[in-house]
Structure 1
Amino acid sequence: MNGVPKAPLYLGLAGLVPFVWGALTYLNSDLSAWGAQTFGPRFVGPYVQLFYGSVILSFMSGVLWGFATKTSGSKAALCYLLSVLPALWAFAMTGGGPVNAGTNLMYGFAGLLLLDALFSYWRLTPVWWMRLRILLTAVVLASLAVGVYL
């Protein structure tokens, strides 16, 4: 992760914990039982992933909104419009059970990565942005895939 400042890198990696924890508790029933008893049932398996995933897509909408402030005119309007899509996606597409919601979150995070790339192409992001976002998105997608495909 050359060039990525330590604070965003460490905070981004810490932000992966609920996704990875959800996958681990999905795969290991003993860990899931311990986690449910210790933290509560909504903090294990797909429950933690789906709720947290919705929160993170909404958070990332705010990040993109911040990048949109770096431009003006019709390009700014387009960037603001694009920036709200991840939050709207999370709101509209995370119902219908854990597999459907997990699948839709995977599409949401893949779409977010495309928006990240577009904002990066327009030079609205830091130069290190895509290195960080590709790593984080790969781990999120792999973690969500556990609940969707296994």
Structure 2
Amino acid sequence: MARSLEQTSAFHARLAGYAGLIPFVIPLLVVWFEPGHAEAAIAAQHAYAALILSFLGGIYWGVAMSRQVVGWFWLSVLPSLWAWPALLLPTFAGTVMLAGGFALMLLLDRAARRQDVIREWFFRLRLTLSAVAIVSLLLAMTG
């Protein structure tokens, strides 16, 4: 039986999403197993986290464009505006802010799911990806 277009899209979105976790996990492993490189690893992880938060905002820019809902335009820029100052803060505060940004995006994702703006499979994927991102950011601070 052939897969539906949505099943195929969901499959590829999952693969791409999981691959996108690599830059969260590798720095964590560096912090734990090569502590002499911890500072650079955390800086790289933070830069990637900020980039991904901006990317997540872009998803909602697309929602705003497709649905012509002005409020989603404003919501779509908030992750970038949240992430940018986190890169300028001391490491601990930046980590907390970035992890918090992912938690806040989950709240936005949940609201989007309730309004049928995003599909259930996508919300579940976002939940998993955000959990790994948050845990990786916080665990890197333990090194």
Q: TM-score category by the smaller chain?
A: 0.7 to 0.9
State the alpha-carbon separation in 2 of the partners of residues 149 and 84 from structure 1.
Answer: 31
State the alpha-carbon separation in 2 of the partners of residues 148 and 117 from structure 1.
Answer: 28
Instruction: Give the secondary-structure state (helix, strand or coil) at the position aligned to 2:119.
Output: coil
- Report whether the alignment pairs 1:24 with 2:29: yes
- Report whether the alignment pairs 1:99 with 2:107: no
- Report whether the alignment pairs 1:148 with 2:119: no
TM-score w.r.t. structure 1 length?
Answer: 0.82
Between the two proteins, the alignment pairs up a number of residues equal to: 136
State the alpha-carbon separation in 1 of the partners of residues 51 and 70 from structure 2.
Answer: 24
Render the CA deviation track for 1:89-117: whole Å, top value 9, x for unaligned. 01123222221111110011101111111
2:47 to 47, 51, 76: 51
1:6-85 matches, within 5 Å, as: 6-29=11-34, 42=40, 45-72=41-68, 76-85=69-78
Question: What is aligned with 2:127?
Answer: 134
Letter in 1 for 2:79: P
Question: What is aligned with 2:116?
Answer: 123
The farther-off stretch of 95-104 and 3-12 is: 3-12
Q: Which runs of 4+ in 1 moved over 3 A?
A: none
Question: What is aligned with 2:83?
Answer: 90
| Cα offset, 1:23, TM superposition | 0.7
| Cα offset, 1:140, TM superposition | 0.4
Identity of paired residues, percent?
A: 32
The farther-off stretch of 63-72 and 51-60 is: 63-72
Letter in 1 for 2:55: F
| Cα offset, 1:5, TM superposition | 1.6
Asked if 1 retains the 8 angstrom alpha-carbon contact of 2:86 and 2:95, the reply is: no
